[in-house]
Amino acid sequence: MYRALSTGRQKGTPTLRRLLSALVIAEHDTQQVTPVTLSAITAAKRLGGDVSCLVAGTDCTKVAEELAKIQGVSKLFISQHESYKGFLPEELTPLVLEAQKKFNFTHICAGASAFGKSLLPRIAAKLDVAPVSDVIEIKSPDTFVRAIYAGNALCTVKCEESVKIFSIRGTSFEAAPASGGSASSDTVAPSAPVGLSEWLHQSLTKSDRPELTSAKVVVSGGRGLKSGDNFKLLYDLADQLNAAVGASRAAVDAGFVPNDMQVGQTGKIVAPEVYIAVGISGAIQHLAGMKDSKTIVAINKDPEAPIFQVADYGLVADLFKAVPEMTEIMKRK
């Protein structure tokens, strides 16, 4: 269980911190560790104790090499087996439970990505503890801050569970340095395959543009674009800015663009250096996914649009005129 605290900063004693040990479950594609895993390592380091990483998959060689060099990771547990194909939570959970039984970690964490969101609740249920999701700040080893009500309120929770299981929001913790570490590694025997589900295949959208959640610049379009074809205006601008392209849910629901482009409460959470919202009204559910962006630019023909309340720069204009003009100016640079 966890209790909501209104205020209060609690730091663990040095003795307590020495006893702390966190396990970060690494998410990867057999080639590379995901950026949110690097953020999870940073969050785990903030707890003040030892940080270990568990990497499981069909082939972990490359990823294990990468993880061993990450600053702050002291131990690496590697488990390889065909049953880890597709990183199914049903197959990974017994492995994590085995590791927990053996090493008795005080904390288990991962990124609040689709991977972490499907795996951590299952582990928590099996250990009969309540997980804390989408943590944005670590106040102390048992006290975490998370956003509630679509990011409109921050809740400080004290977790009283014997093992604290939490997911972290990638945009709230910087990536752990990729070099300077020298973790020792151990091979862990894979758990017996569960066979509850089977991974068939995945089809990934191929794009030359930066990935939405890690791009430094994001150009997003809303219902104001009026059609999928008109998103070309945004792609042209994005090409000049080396930006990723996102969208509001209204644009996704209208079928203008696929739903992996959705930014917001029920989409992706982004916090780029620059976020350019084009023809987006600024509903709270959209703001929940982008309001931590360093600089927000809004282009909207309605001067009363709520997006202007969070924008650092606002342009009241018809997007069909303003966006091609911006693209032309950028081309001349």
Going by C-beta distance under 8 Å and a sequence separation of 6 or more, which residues neighbour residue 266?
Answer: 249, 285
Can residue 314 be called a binding residue for ligand FAD (CB under 6 A)? no
Whether residue 104 is annotated as binding a ligand: the answer is no
Burial of 192 (0-12, 13-18, 19+ CB in 10 A): exposed
Q: Which C-beta is closer to ligand FAD: that of 107 or that of 146?
A: 146
Chain positions 247 to 266 lying near ligand FAD, rule: CB under 6 A, are 248-251, 262-266
Q: Which C-beta is closer to ligand FAD: that of 198 or that of 302?
A: 302
The DSSP result for 151-185, as a single string, is TTEEEEEEE-SSSEEEEE-GGGSPPPPSSS---EE
What's the closest the beta carbon of residue 301 comes to ligand FAD, in angstroms? 4
Can residue 302 be called a binding residue for ligand FAD (CB under 6 A)? yes
Contact flags string 79-118 toward ligand FAD, x per CB under 6 A: ----------------------------------------
Whether residue 279 is annotated as binding a ligand: the answer is yes
What's the closest the beta carbon of residue 137 comes to ligand FAD, in angstroms? 22
Q: Which C-beta is closer to ligand FAD: that of 98 or that of 236?
A: 236
CA torsion sign for 35, 37, 40, 45 is negative
Can residue 286 be called a binding residue for ligand FAD (CB under 6 A)? yes
> Binding segment for ligand FAD among 22-30, 117-125, 178-186, 314-322 (CB under 6 A)?
314-322
Residue 270: helix, strand or coil by DSSP? Answer: coil
Q: Which C-beta is closer to ligand FAD: that of 170 or that of 267?
A: 267
What's the closest the beta carbon of residue 314 comes to ligand FAD, in angstroms? 11
Residue 77: helix, strand or coil by DSSP? Answer: strand
Which of 37, 106, 167, 281 touches ligand FAD by CB under 6 A?
Answer: 281
Number of residues that bind ligand FAD (CB under 6 A): 28
Strand arrangement, sheet containing 153-159: 2-5, 153-159, 143-148, 132-140, 164-168, 107-111, 21-25, 50-57, 75-80, 184-187
For residue 24, what are the CA distances in angstroms to 135, 178, 275?
Answer: 14, 15, 30
Which of 81, 117, 223, 291 touches ligand FAD by CB under 6 A?
Answer: 223
Whether residue 283 is annotated as binding a ligand: the answer is yes
Q: What is the 3 state secondary structure string of 6-18? A: CCCCCCCCHHHHH
Q: Write out the two tokens for 84.
A: 């880890």
Can residue 171 be called a binding residue for ligand FAD (CB under 6 A)? no
- φ, ψ for residue 207, nearest 5 deg: -150, 140
Going by C-beta distance under 8 Å and a sequence separation of 6 or more, which residues neighbour residue 328?
Answer: none
Q: Which C-beta is closer to ligand FAD: that of 122 or that of 223?
A: 223
Whether residue 300 is annotated as binding a ligand: the answer is yes
Q: Under the rule (CB under 6 A), what is the footprint of ligand FAD?
A: 222-224, 248-251, 262-267, 279-281, 283, 285-286, 289, 299-302, 305, 318-320
Residue set of the binding site: 223, 248-249, 262-266, 279-286, 300
In the annotated binding site for FAD, the residues are 223, 248-249, 262-266, 279-286, 300
